[in-house]
Structure 1
Amino acid sequence: MNLRFLRGASCAIVFAAGLILPSSSLAQRPPGGGPPAGGRPTPGQNSDIFPTASLHVYVRGPDGSPIDQMALVTLFTWTNQMYRQSTTQGGNAEFDSIPPGQYTIQVIAPAYENAKENVEISFGGSTVLISLKPSSTGSPDGASSAPAIPILPPKVQKELNKAIEALRANKPGDAHSLLMDAYRHAPNHPQVNYLFGVYFSQTNDWREAKRSWEKAVSAYPRYLPALLSLGEAMLREGRPSDAASYFKRAVEAEPSSWRAHAHLAEAELRLSSLDEAVHDAERAIELGHSQAVAVQPLLARALGDQGKVERAIKILESYLQERPSDVDAKKALEALRAPLVVPAKVAVPAADPPQDPPPLPAFASASLLPSAWMPPDIDEKIPPVEPGVACPLDTVLSNASKHALELVGNVDRFTATESLKHELFSTAGLPSTLETRKFNYLVSIEQIRPGILSVEEYRDGSFSYEKFPDGIATLGLPSLVLVFHPAQVSNYDMTCEGLAKLSGGLAWQVHLRQRPDKPRTLRSYRIGAQSYPVSLRGRAWIAADTFQIVRLETDLVAPLPQIHLAGEHTAIEYGPVHFKRKNVDMWLPQSAEVYFDWRGRRIYRRHDFSNYLLFAVDENQKIAPPKTPDAGASGPSAETQKPR
């Protein structure tokens, strides 16, 4: 699929259109089960030999009535291992075939404090009533109660965005007058002072840079960029103890920031706090995924200093496979592999000459300068999740894969009204032109034969891509959810980050990344007759009760220099569409946003879908509008029409 620019170029962004899927990978992953209850009989065994019991959990709000929203109820064994999970219906959850014994019940629900209660389950069964307290944060998604950074007037923010882009281009001279204008309007704003600090650092005026960052932290003590920058300044001056103090504050302010943990590990290593350095380096790598690859040499240094040379060597070998041009890492690896030689005793001079502090690590926070138009990278930090909640990844992926199969099996095609917003941004990150389009949109998803899926789209009854603005077609967005199809899921490394509280309920938060040894079939850029597959990494939110994909975000694993693709970010929201005749809810896109930086052009696309009409493989059926979390929220709606 491609389109032709009026100027003669052609490009199409293709999302899983015409997937070729290996038939050998069609088998689903087996669902995961909870561990047995500490040596007791497990569910499914003969109850005549091993008697079991039932557990009824009633979840109530502060007024004693059943809570309206869904709650996740987890049952832990006496050894604190997750045994079973269930979600409430009308405030109730039931567990059958449970071996009697001691358990802990954990209940998590949006807008409420988490609750835990110990229970002794007897042979006759047990009933437990758990009352929830309203969340102290007052926020349904568990957001921090720290005061928000003041919002700047639109004109001031516009000037600040221009300054950000100038600083990102390392052009402090272009940023100075813009920052002065912003400072006159908001002299105590943390972002204004932080950016002034970046300006002074780029002009090598470190004294003024530190003063600006200190002012930002004074106005907003939890402002992460300023805390990291001050810590880096302390490292630059050879003061690791003072640096560690700032980095610890950064970790407290943003516990899910991989950069905060990575910087703290660097300071701890310089202080010879090796156990702490290893812990924070490992946490940074866990949080940052591919963004935190640069932390691996730091971890190897700390392990080497601990005497764990074999593990340090393995980490550096793995790191150099991905970054073979890192000369310092090669030297570190050679030093670790070299046999230990005890030097002869030599005279030690009375005093060592002063040495400059080691250079700052590769993950220095200069890259914290935010883009003025594109959302943050998905791996910059992990969105908040509930602490201490066990995630049954195999069960989550198995059920998500079933829904992907249902989409292909139950749906031959669906139609919708597609509203398209196309916006260009200037080099200063400001919107410059806006165009809109509306299409009669049809998608056909078909499994041609085992292992091969075909995804085709029509707009206003044809393949014509010239109707897209600016000569760029974004195709196949609804099929991005097929990343969870059993034939696709093995192409990605997937990890569960935890349970997230969303405004509409609870969702498992799953990180995904294309495996380098697997085919890239989900996304490609097509220019003329040439296609360029790209690797994706992303994050999905999967409903804890239904295991439907609620939201999906992706970024590129790496830029694509051969077509001058510097970056891309996609975010898709899904919602239920009820199919009356089969009494099923198909989760289809409500909206899709795409940002891409291609050939120096910064483009934002938003696709909204409404007036859905679903075609099943055996019947045509009008569908109802999908439900939305809030009664007043807008979303896709159905209209009375007959399929042609």
Structure 2
Amino acid sequence: MQEHSWDEVLALSGRALEMGSFTNFVAYEYHAAANLNLHNLAAAEKSGLRAADLDREHREPRIYFVLAQIYEAKGDFTKVAASLHEYLNYTDSSSDAAVVEQYLSNLDKSTQAVRGPHSAETTDKADSASNRWAPPDIDAGVPRVLSNSSSCPLPQILKQASSHTLDLIENMRRFSASEQIEQIEIDRNGKRHNSGTEVMNYVVEVEETTSGYPAIKEYRAGVSGMRQAAVLDSGAAVFALIFHPSHIGNFEFQCEGLTDLQQSPAWQLHFVESDDSNKAFTAIKKGGTIHLPRFKGRAWISTDGYNVLRIETDLVSPLPKMDLQREHQVITYAPVEFPARHIRLWLPDKSSIYVATHRHQYERVHTFADFKVFSVDSMEAVKEPSGKKPDRFFSKTLAGSGPFEVGHN
């Protein structure tokens, strides 16, 4: 297609979005493709990701192929591989799948050639379990940056990000939202089966404590439900609290450089939790045994307001005693405007958790929408649900293998 034709596609798709087709993933897909071919890569990535988010029934796997082309143009081959694996999960074209699989095979060989022996030793097991159904391990590669770590004011970034967690806590107590939870089971061939979707009303209660770290509890009331889910999780929406003054000192941070995320310049940080079990951020309980896993991850912090844009995490190592081979999380945050109140809050947008045991693989996706803001005083109306009070910040249960409870200290 000629460049002037892509100008027309961009104009037409942009007009469709301006007319209110904000839930039309096809319009976003064409908007992404046009921007890609016109070399507007940041805009292309934003529209492509929006198209993928909206296509929740995965009717158009071509979206992931477009995203792969975008990341190839940006030189981010880790995300190229992740997007193409997503494409393979949903495409019905065997001929296209064969071509993509060959490309991935060649890409994997080139990646292995440059990967160090220690990295290969620590990540190969996780990568083999996640090649076709989950994002790559955090240490499988470093996403592309625009400038290297020498330009990073790391102490200032951590200080400001830590300060902004107090704003996040205050924001969390001021809103309610509609939460869609999608449960997906992945078979041994890497194919995804939509196990069901439920829609919940979501609200958070924040209680002050003498320790200075607030007690944060999530409440969900069902609107529509699914059959019993194999994986239950909660608390990921406030995972950015690893930057809270009570916890930030328990992580080793390394700035990898300045990058571009969601059309915003952002500092890219890698982090690893310390091995001090007395300060563990999470605790996983199975039966009567409590495990304190260490995790590692990557965070993207906006340069203008030092808000957390995105967090990805992995376990430092599997938990064989619990048959937990992998737990990968992706959490994104975004600003939400409330014109009637003339306020703008930075809130959780979406979180995904990928869980792998010896026999099963699951993905669970939380998407927040229909935000409503209210006075903090109205929190007095929030009542504790009947039954046993929850004493864990995060909780997760794998059906048939005993309860997993992941708690925040």
Could you state the TM-score of these two structures normalised by the residue count of structure 1?
A: 0.42
Encode CA deviations 1:184-241: one digit per residue, 9 max, x unaligned: x47993743875xxxxxxxxxxxxxxxxxxxxxxxxxxx4423467xxxxxxxxxxxx
The aligned counterpart of 1:489 is 248
Q: Helix, strand or coil: the match of 1:490?
A: helix
Encode CA deviations 1:599-625: one digit per residue, 9 max, x unaligned: 5221111111112233454467xxxxx
Structure 2 CA distance for partners of 1:525 and 1:387, relative to 1, 3 Å? same
Of 537, 559, 564 in structure 1, the residue corresponding to residue 318 of structure 2 is 559
Amino acid at match of 1:555: D
Of 117, 125, 145 in structure 1, the residue corresponding to residue 73 of structure 2 is 145
Encode CA deviations 1:326-385: one digit per residue, 9 max, x unaligned: xxxxxxxxxxxxxxxxxxxxxxxxxxxxxxxxxxxx989996796111111111111110
Higher mean alpha-carbon deviation, 518-527 vs 557-566, is at 518-527
Q: Helix, strand or coil: the match of 1:572?
A: strand
Residue 102 of structure 2 corresponds to residue 192 of structure 1 = yes
CA contact (8 A) 1:137 1:144 kept: no
Amino acid at match of 1:374: A
Q: Helix, strand or coil: the match of 1:571?
A: strand
CA contact (8 A) 1:565 1:598 kept: yes
Structure 1 unpaired stretches of 5+: 1-134, 162-180, 196-222, 230-246, 248-259, 264-290, 295-361, 621-644
Amino acid at match of 2:244: H
Structure 2 CA distance for partners of 1:426 and 1:387, relative to 1, 3 Å? same
Amino acid at match of 1:385: V
Encode CA deviations 1:16-61: one digit per residue, 9 max, x unaligned: xxxxxxxxxxxxxxxxxxxxxxxxxxxxxxxxxxxxxxxxxxxxxx
Structure 2 matches for 1:235-384, cutoff 5 A?
260=114, 262=116, 292=119, 371-384=131-144
Residue 301 of structure 2 corresponds to residue 447 of structure 1 = no
Encode CA deviations 1:473-517: one digit per residue, 9 max, x unaligned: 201122211011011101111111111112321111111110112
CA contact (8 A) 2:84 2:100 kept: no
Structure 2 CA distance for partners of 1:404 and 1:565, relative to 1, 3 Å? same
Amino acid at match of 1:572: I
Structure 2 unpaired stretches of 5+: 1-36, 46-69, 380-409
CA contact (8 A) 1:225 1:368 kept: no
Structure 2 CA distance for partners of 1:581 and 1:530, relative to 1, 3 Å? farther
Encode CA deviations 1:545-581: one digit per residue, 9 max, x unaligned: 1111111111111111121101011111101134679
Residue 296 of structure 2 corresponds to residue 537 of structure 1 = yes
Amino acid at match of 1:613: K
Q: Could you tell me how far apart the structure 2 residues matched to 1:588 and 1:468 are?
A: 29
CA contact (8 A) 1:408 1:447 kept: no
Q: Helix, strand or coil: the match of 1:585?
A: strand
Of 523, 526, 542 in structure 1, the residue corresponding to residue 285 of structure 2 is 526
Amino acid at match of 1:459: R
Of 181, 186, 192 in structure 2, the residue corresponding to residue 425 of structure 1 is 186
Q: CA deviation at 1:528?
A: 4.8
Structure 2 CA distance for partners of 1:410 and 1:472, relative to 1, 3 Å? closer
Amino acid at match of 2:204: V
Q: Could you tell me how far apart the structure 2 residues matched to 1:405 and 1:598 are?
A: 36
Percent of aligned positions that are identical: 28
Q: Helix, strand or coil: the match of 1:483?
A: helix
Q: CA deviation at 1:414?
A: 3.2
Q: Could you tell me how far apart the structure 2 residues matched to 1:144 and 1:187 are?
A: 18
The aligned counterpart of 1:226 is 109
Structure 2 CA distance for partners of 1:534 and 1:492, relative to 1, 3 Å? same
Structure 2 CA distance for partners of 1:365 and 1:408, relative to 1, 3 Å? closer
Q: Could you tell me how far apart the structure 2 residues matched to 1:539 and 1:500 are?
A: 13
The aligned counterpart of 1:587 is 346
Amino acid at match of 1:608: T
Structure 2 CA distance for partners of 1:188 and 1:425, relative to 1, 3 Å? closer
Q: Could you tell me how far apart the structure 2 residues matched to 1:585 and 1:606 are?
A: 25
The aligned counterpart of 1:78 is none
Structure 2 CA distance for partners of 1:447 and 1:152, relative to 1, 3 Å? closer
Q: CA deviation at 1:425?
A: 0.9
Residue 147 of structure 2 corresponds to residue 387 of structure 1 = yes
Encode CA deviations 1:157-186: one digit per residue, 9 max, x unaligned: 46999xxxxxxxxxxxxxxxxxxx96xx47
Encode CA deviations 1:123-173: one digit per residue, 9 max, x unaligned: xxxxxxxxxxxx99642379553899999999x946999xxxxxxxxxxxx
Structure 2 CA distance for partners of 1:576 and 1:433, relative to 1, 3 Å? closer
Q: Could you tell me how far apart the structure 2 residues matched to 1:610 and 1:558 are?
A: 34
Q: Helix, strand or coil: the match of 1:475?
A: coil
Q: Could you tell me how far apart the structure 2 residues matched to 1:401 and 1:363 are?
A: 30
CA contact (8 A) 1:520 1:535 kept: no
The aligned counterpart of 1:396 is 157
Structure 2 CA distance for partners of 1:502 and 1:525, relative to 1, 3 Å? same
CA contact (8 A) 2:333 2:346 kept: yes
Residue 200 of structure 2 corresponds to residue 460 of structure 1 = no
Structure 2 CA distance for partners of 1:576 and 1:485, relative to 1, 3 Å? same
Structural RMSD (CA): 4.2
Greater helix proportion: 2
- Report the count of equivalent residues: 311
Q: Could you tell me how far apart the structure 2 residues matched to 1:405 and 1:448 are?
A: 14
CA contact (8 A) 2:172 2:204 kept: no
Higher relative contact order (CA 8 A, sep 6+): 1
Q: CA deviation at 1:443?
A: 1.3
Q: Helix, strand or coil: the match of 2:317?
A: coil
Residue 173 of structure 2 corresponds to residue 412 of structure 1 = yes
Structure 2 matches for 1:613-624, cutoff 5 A?
613-618=372-377
The aligned counterpart of 2:367 is 608
Structure 2 CA distance for partners of 1:460 and 1:292, relative to 1, 3 Å? same
Encode CA deviations 1:83-103: one digit per residue, 9 max, x unaligned: xxxxxxxxxxxxxxxxxxxxx
Q: Could you tell me how far apart the structure 1 residues matched to 2:248 and 2:378 are?
A: 30
Structure 2 matches for 1:464-479, cutoff 5 A?
469-479=228-238
Q: Helix, strand or coil: the match of 1:478?
A: helix
